[in-house]
Amino acid sequence: MSEHIAPLKLYAFVFITLLILTVVTWQIAYIDLGRWNTVVALVIAIGKASLVAAFFMHLRWSASMVRLVLFAALFWLAIMITLTAGDFFSRGHVQPWQASTQISQPMRSATLR
């Protein structure tokens, strides 16, 4: 049965959990955890998003093909972020003024040759 009617108690539970998690993530942000601030904030955000998707968006009871669409999108997103970040953080950042010299140098030598 794909057209599932969720019990109202479950909605209330999800709603209260979402509000509690919002207060938690907001208050934790005032504590200095160094780089862990971002990690904690993102983990809580993923948890909240999963609650909304699973119960408010009925993914818990959806056909597996519907879930496949979501996971495919998240998979492509992960590829986009991983490859882009890998490129930026492994090659080092080039400032605009450095970029112009780096490009112009070989070009000048090419014209001289």
Partner 1 sequence: MGMIASRREYQLHNTQTAVYEQFDDRTQQHEASSLGMWIFLATEIMFFGAVFTSYTVYRNLYTTAFEIGSHHLNTPIGAINTAVLICSSLTMALAVHAAQTGKRKQLMAYLVSTMLLGCVFLFIKFVLEWIHDYKEGFAPGLHWTYAGPHTNQVAMFFCFYFILTGIHATHMIVGEGIMVVLLYMAWKGRFSAERYNPIEMFGLYWHFVDIIWIFLFPLLYLLGAHF
Residues that bind partner 1 (CB under 8 A): 1-3, 5-6, 8, 11, 15, 18-19, 22-23, 25-26, 29-33, 37-38, 41-42, 44-45, 48-49, 52-53, 55-58, 62-63, 65-66, 69-70, 72-74, 76-77, 80-81, 84-85, 88-89, 93
Q: Which is nearer to partner 1, 94 or 103 (CB)?
A: 94
Q: Which is nearer to partner 1, 1 or 107 (CB)?
A: 1
Cα(39)–Cα(34) distance, integer angstroms: 10
Phi, psi of 63 (to 5 degrees): -65, 150
Amino acid identity of residue 11, one-letter, is Y
Q: How far is the CB of 101 from partner 1 (least distance, A)?
A: 20
Give the H/E segment covering residue 22: helix 8-28
Q: How far is the CB of 103 from partner 1 (least distance, A)?
A: 20
SS (H, E, C) 45-94: HHHHHHHHHHHHCCHHHCCHHHHHHHHHHHHHHHHHHHHHHHHHHHHCCC
Q: Which is nearer to partner 1, 82 or 105 (CB)?
A: 82
Q: Which is nearer to partner 1, 72 or 103 (CB)?
A: 72
